[in-house]
Amino acid sequence: MSDEIKNIKVTIDNITIDVAPGTTILNAARQIGGDVTPPAMCYYSKLEGSGGKCRTCLVEVAAGSAADPRPMPKLVASCRTTVMDGMVVKNMTSEKVPDARAGVVEFLLLNHPLDCPICDQAGECHLQDLGYDHGKEGTRYQFARRTFKKEDIGPYIQLHMTRCILCYRCTYVADQLTNKRVHGIVDRGDHAAISTYISKAIENDFSGNMIDVCPVGALTDKTFRFKNRVWFTKPVDAHRNCTTPGCCGKATLWLRGDEVFRVTARKDEWGEVQSYDGKPGWICNTCRFETKKTESWKIEGVTTISRHSVIGANKYKTLEMPNETVKRVMKGVEPKLLMDIHSISNVNNPDIHLSDIKGPAHSGDFKK
Amino acid sequence: MARKLLLEKAHVEGIRHYDVYRREGGYRSVEKALKMQPADIVEEVKKSGLRGRGGAGFPTGMKWSFLAKPDGIPRYLVCNADESEPGTFKDRYLMEFIPHILIEGMIVSSYALGSNSSYIYIRGEYDWITDILEAAITEAKQNGWLGKNIQGSGFDMELYVQRGAGAYICGEETALLESLEGKRGNPRIKPPFPAIKGLWGCPTVVNNVETLAAVVPIINEGGDEYAKIGVGRSTGTKLISACGNINKPGIYEIDMTISVEEFIYSDEYCGGIPNGKKIKACIPGGSSVPILPANLLLTTAKGEKRLMNYESLSDGGFATGSMMGSGGFIVLDEDQCVVRHTYSLARFYRHESCGQCSPCREGTGWMEKILLNIEKGKGKMSDIDLLWDIQSKIEGNTICPLGDAAAWPVAAAIRHFRDEFEWHVNNPEKCLTENFGLRHYADPIHVPTN
């Protein structure tokens, strides 16, 4: 990928970057990273044809290209709009975008049950993150939220249609990873629902990846259901020699003590499945649902969660070491101690019996 | 009496059948066109200034010239006959009574665009028209106007009729193509546009029934002659389906020089408002265009007479104007309640939203619920501002124009009839039994008595 021609200049939020032709605005923004990147709820770079539906990634195009610098009249979905040379995009710097995006967040949450306290996705939910980052507090919706009939779609996956935001990602997984899709969107409008055609169970080796791509808690792991909160479990990278064709065998185990509570594919900072040699690292159902013993896995180490979310907060960040100067000023010599503190500190005065000191000790107690 | 091009022979006995249609001069344009170069036909359509009759009014000739023509890939012409907009029923009339004019127009257009198999995607509810069209296609085939080597020209063409399954959204061109391919009728994300990647990934032109039918007189008389009819950039004739509180609802072919006032009150057209009532408001172009109160309907904000054409109807933008749209002319008299009317439209758009993108999926239902509350006298004053805010968050932020179409009627109703909404909120008891009536936006003109 490194020898790709990057000859398209695009400016996003006043930061200019060179990208390859055919790159979308969203992917260009991801190359810059940080707040410049619009959120994406339905777009999934590893799933062909995804995106354009949730409208959270709307950005303003202030200049279409160097050749035609007219602004685009409407906000565009950055995940499906390719960059042109000299394009100027406004995301966080736009006046229209935050308002439109807050509107989209409100629409997405309109019929969402907000049952985060009992939802297995809480803590790693993209809709939670989106709400916190781009939403407004409170809703203006005063009507009953839409509900659906419960449907059993098989032994491994739990479907909560009320939480679904209809991103279509799971249908793309079924289309692109498995040879037969048995589920899809039925009905239309606000009563559209993910369903199998006349209550069929979803059974194939890669159906579990639907859980990984689901941005909300609509599809969750039945083997992990109500077992633990994701922020209590410790993620570790592990691999095994999986014999299922197409399975990369590289996974994240979510442990509590020695117990494997859950197995997922490894995810990157955008919450997407990581790629290995340019191929997405999907895992099979055997790895995900059936291999829940630490002995079956070769643990590589603690997973670094670079995604900005509750699961990534306050833990597993790489420790930031202070700049080590001693070695530098001592010309490479790095003594463990710079002085003999035993001879200097009164605390180590052997004449004082610690048991003689009553109450909390003060420095004065040692100066006897 | 305005000149008629499409409906000239509509009342000839048996015009639905090939023999009569041919005797009355049908299929002349095909004979003429097959002797022309395809590019010349496109040029002729460009010269005619014909604009898409489906609603958006995009110049047809320009749309045709955008069609990509890569080698070795077929091109398709698709006729959008999924006419489902409330208040629009012009294509139905055309297809039901003169089906051969559509077939004739499609042969000429297919030849111009190089489409060897063309499709008519017809609204599912028009099942009897499907039979009429299929019978007409069979007749045309028997007489050598369809099939292999049409009239010895070497041009092959097949024409198929495909019925939809009753979704308004399939009138959106990319949703139509998805549906035609046998998939769920979700609009595609553009670009790529159908002219580059349409039906089965091939370059495709999607045109309205009336647009394709209008190609027949353009070829018969020449683009320049056609462009002489009408005014400005609104050339040719337009079918208007008039309905609502008028004496003579129906289909009228107008040249686009007559005024709105003449259209509503003259006996040649709508024949005025029944029972001596006054006009309150009008939707001039099908349910999705902004509603206009009587005082802005007959004259523009500048005080000029409003004419029945693309420019004049949209004069003043959405603030004081509307759109020509598809020509679904809906008239509301003084007894009609704008809130109820807007609720009814919001209900339609909620029901027809495909559910693909979030603003339209969630927003249309929300607007419907609020409007129902206001209509039932349970609304709050803040609901009116909320409605305005919701429509502004939907408009322009969706994949396809259905979001805009759902937002515009609500926006226009609040813009022009805010006092009626406020009256509903302030008089929860009264609004169930009484009507707000006309008040200050009353009909500013006389009602002809003769």
| Partners of residue A71 in chain B, C-beta under 8 Å | none
Looking at residue B446, its pLDDT comes to: 47
Given an 8 Å threshold on Cβ–Cβ distance, is B369 in contact with A58?
Answer: no
Looking at residue B277, its pLDDT comes to: 86
- Measured in angstroms, the CA of B415 and the nearest CA of chain A are apart by 21
Let me know if residue B441 belongs to a domain: no
Least confident of A120-129, A305-314, B249-258: A305-314
Looking at residue A354, its pLDDT comes to: 73
> What DSSP character marks residue A201?
-
Last residue of a domain, one of B191, B208, B229: B229
| Partners of residue B393 in chain A, C-beta under 8 Å | 100, 103-104, 106-107
Please check whether residues B290 and B390 belong to one and the same domain. no
Please check whether residues B347 and B363 belong to one and the same domain. yes
Let me know if residue B449 belongs to a domain: no
Identify the sign of the CA torsion B29, B30, B32, B33. Answer: positive
Question: Which regions of B164-232 does DSSP assign to beta strands (E)?
Answer: 204-208, 230-231
Average pLDDT over residues B380-400: 93
Number of domains in chain B: 3
Let me know if residue B192 belongs to a domain: yes
Average pLDDT over residues B367-394: 93
On whether the CB atoms of residues B353 and A189 are closer than 8 A, the answer is: yes
Establish, for the pair of chains A and B, how many residue pairs have beta carbons separated by less than 8 Å: 88
Average pLDDT over residues B218-225: 90
Q: Which of B66, B68, B63 is nearest to B49 (CA)?
A: B63
Please check whether residues B329 and B348 belong to one and the same domain. no
Range of the domain at B349: 338-434
CB of A210 within 8 Å of a chain B CB? The answer is no
Looking at residue B447, its pLDDT comes to: 46
Let me know if residue B98 belongs to a domain: yes
Please check whether residues B272 and B215 belong to one and the same domain. no
Given an 8 Å threshold on Cβ–Cβ distance, is B361 in contact with A166?
Answer: yes
Question: Sorting pLDDT into bands at 50, 70 and 90, what band is B439?
Answer: low
Average pLDDT over residues B12-19: 91
State pLDDT tens for residues A229-257. 888 888 899 999 988 888 888 999 998 88
Please check whether residues B259 and B284 belong to one and the same domain. yes
Phi, psi angle pair for B404, to nearest 5°? -65, -45
- In percent, the amount of chain A with pLDDT more than 70 equals 88
Whole-number Å distance between alpha carbons of B54 and B207: 8
Whole-number Å distance between alpha carbons of B135 and B102: 13
| Partners of residue A192 in chain B, C-beta under 8 Å | 354-355, 361
Structure tokens at A1: 């990928």
- The mean pLDDT value of chain B amounts to 90
Please check whether residues B352 and B393 belong to one and the same domain. yes
Whole-number Å distance between alpha carbons of B148 and B230: 38
Looking at residue B295, its pLDDT comes to: 85
Looking at residue B43, its pLDDT comes to: 92
Looking at residue B96, its pLDDT comes to: 92
Let me know if residue B444 belongs to a domain: no
Whole-number Å distance between alpha carbons of A55 and B191: 16
Please check whether residues B292 and B262 belong to one and the same domain. yes
Let me know if residue B244 belongs to a domain: yes
Question: Sorting pLDDT into bands at 50, 70 and 90, what band is B230?
Answer: confident
Last residue of a domain, one of B229, B250, B271: B229
Please check whether residues B75 and B169 belong to one and the same domain. yes
State pLDDT tens for residues A127-161. 998 998 888 888 899 899 988 888 888 888 899 99
Query: pTM above 0.80?
Result: yes
Enumerate domains of chain A plus CATH numbers: 8-102 (3.10.20.740), 111-138+146-221 (3.30.70.20), 234-312 (no CATH), 335-366 (no CATH)
Residue B158 has pLDDT above 70, yes or no: yes
Q: What is the CA radius of gyration of chain A?
A: 26
Looking at residue B449, its pLDDT comes to: 44
Burial class (CB in 10 A: 0-12, 13-18, 19+), A278: exposed
Please check whether residues B242 and B101 belong to one and the same domain. no
Q: Which of A266, A270, A272 is nearest to A253 (CA)?
A: A266
Average pLDDT over residues B391-419: 92
For residues B228 and A307, which has the higher predicted lDDT (pLDDT)?
Answer: B228
Q: Which of B381, B386, B369, B407 is nearest to A111 (CA)?
A: B369
Looking at residue B8, its pLDDT comes to: 86
Identify the sign of the CA torsion A272, A146, B375, B245. Answer: positive
ipTM of the predicted structure? 0.88
Please check whether residues B88 and B215 belong to one and the same domain. yes
Residue A336 has pLDDT above 70, yes or no: no
Residue A331 backbone class (left: φ over 0; alpha: ψ -120 to 50; beta: rest): left
Please check whether residues B50 and B181 belong to one and the same domain. yes
Let me know if residue B6 belongs to a domain: no
Let me know if residue B299 belongs to a domain: yes
Residue A314 has pLDDT above 60, yes or no: no
Q: Which residue of B has its CA nearest to A81?
A: B191
Please check whether residues B256 and B272 belong to one and the same domain. yes
CB of A55 within 8 Å of a chain B CB? The answer is yes
CB of A180 within 8 Å of a chain B CB? The answer is no
Whole-number Å distance between alpha carbons of A280 and A329: 47
Q: Which of A204, A181, A184, A208 is nearest to A194 (CA)?
A: A184
Q: Which of B235, B412, B247, B388 is nearest to B323 (CA)?
A: B412
Least confident of A343-357, B38-52, B366-380: A343-357
- In percent, the amount of chain B with pLDDT more than 90 equals 63
Nearest to A53 among B351, B356, B362 (CB): B356
- The mean pLDDT value of chain A amounts to 85
Residues in chain B whose beta carbon is closer than 8 A to a beta carbon of chain A? 167, 169, 184, 189, 350-359, 361-366, 369, 386, 389, 393, 396-399
CB of A77 within 8 Å of a chain B CB? The answer is yes
Looking at residue A149, its pLDDT comes to: 84
